[in-house]
Homo-oligomer: A and B are copies of this chain.
């Protein structure tokens, strides 16, 4: 279905530059139009979508490799990035077998292709500001774009499971930590923040209790401005107090230390 030329360029991947058998997979969440989105890549030779992934240089920390991959796909520097699980199954093919997958991706026959060797993959999820992302494909893909989390198609490998687990982890953390800084623009209204929470948690929240809880964290700063333009009463604009926000996060989520 694809020319040999394209397939050749795919195999130019220099596996020797990376730690073999180890990879990173990224579940990058964004929020737009009242919908939680996830960033997916489209394989050049084929019809399939998958999660952005990355490999680790020999002298590179895994977390740095994750940040690097994230930067390459989004253009963003500092984001909320959290390891959530390591996927260590020997066979990580799900909807298609290894053979089927290799054919679909343009690697017929060559069962020793380094890209398709067994990989232990470390899953990270990221929260990014939708409007600031410049979705950028990598050398294996020709398209990078946002998908609604509840409209994600069957993905390659076990990537659907990864999204599920990342979402589950995000929900748990959201329930007892004031995450959300990285998903919204600098200034936002309380209803907007609430909609974000409702979307991630998948359930409606009481307007008044939500506001009380958010303010109780003492990480929000209310501005004098109000958001005009919409019909009805103009809501106040808020802004995260970065210092206090980081502080709360540090206490609640920090590892080793």
Contacts and interface: CB of A to CB of B under 8 A. Distances in A.
Interface string A130-149: 00000000000000000000
Nearest to A19: B21
In the complex, the count of this chain's copies comes to: 2
A256 interface: yes
Interface residues of A, number: 28
Contacts of A83: 85-86
A56 interface: yes
A7 interface: no
A165 B20 contact: no
A164 B61 contact: no
Interface string A89-102: 11000000000000
Contacts of A118: 19, 58-59
A86 B122 contact: yes
Contact of A165 (B122, B164, B255): B255
A86 B86 contact: yes
A26 B161 CA distance: 25
Contact of A22 (B58, B89, B120): B120
A193 interface: no
A157 to B, nearest CB: 13
A161 B164 CA distance: 29
Interface of A: 19-22, 56, 58-63, 65, 83, 85-86, 88-90, 118, 120, 122, 158, 161, 164-165, 168, 255-256
8 contacts: A20-B20, A21-B22, A58-B90, A58-B118, A62-B86, A62-B89, A63-B88, A120-B122
